[in-house]
Structures are given as C-alpha cells and as structure tokens.
Amino acid sequence: MDQRTAKEMISPPGIGRYAMGLAIDRRQDGWYFSHNGSNWGYRAWMTGHFRKGYGVVIMTNGDNGLSLMNQIADRVEKAYNWDSLEKPISK
C-alpha cells in the first residue's frame, strides 16, 4: 500500500467519526484510528496514533477476550510510554 492510500484510509469523509472502516478519535493530545471485531470464539481490536506512528493489534481466540485485550493494551501503553490508548471496551 502506498502512503497516499494509507492517508485516504484514515481520512474521514467529513461526516461523522469514521473513515474507510476505521473510527477516528481524539484522545488527550493525539488523533487515533481504531477498529474492532468479533465472531463466535474470536475477538480482535487494533488502534494506531496518526502522527507518532505507533499502534497495537490484539487478537484473541475466545468469546471472553475483552478483559485480556484491555490488560494487554494497558501493559503495552506503559511499557512504551505511549499516550493513553482507548481500550477495546471502556467501563
């Protein structure tokens, strides 16, 4: 994928907070893109920072993977000193 295509994928069309399948959100001082999904026996979530270039993708092979994904996201955020990541499920 070239850089122009990647930029188009994270550019909302002007209505709402969604780009091409990705949610676009501002958290603290940064802009993030994210997407999640699930099927029977499967949970997945990914997020990335627009300008700083970091991100994480977490996939689990269980229906109860959300708590594990939140724990992994917390640990990655702390280990790499990233800005606050939006967790897959906020409580």
**Per-residue pLDDT tens over the stretch 58-89:** 999 988 888 899 999 899 989 998 876 666 65
What residues contact residue 13 under an 8 Å CB cut-off, 6+ apart?
A: 19
Taking CA atoms, 64 is separated from 5, 37, 42, in Å, by 34, 13, 8
Quote the CA–CA distance of 66 and 13 in Å, as a whole number. 30
Res 90: pLDDT: 45
**What does the mean pLDDT of the chain come to?**
83
Whether pTM > 0.85 for this model: the answer is: no
Question: What is the rounded CA–CA span in Å between residue 73 and residue 75?
Answer: 5
What does the DSSP assignment read for 42-60? EEEEEEEETTT--EEEEEE
pLDDT band (50, 70, 90) for residue 91: very low
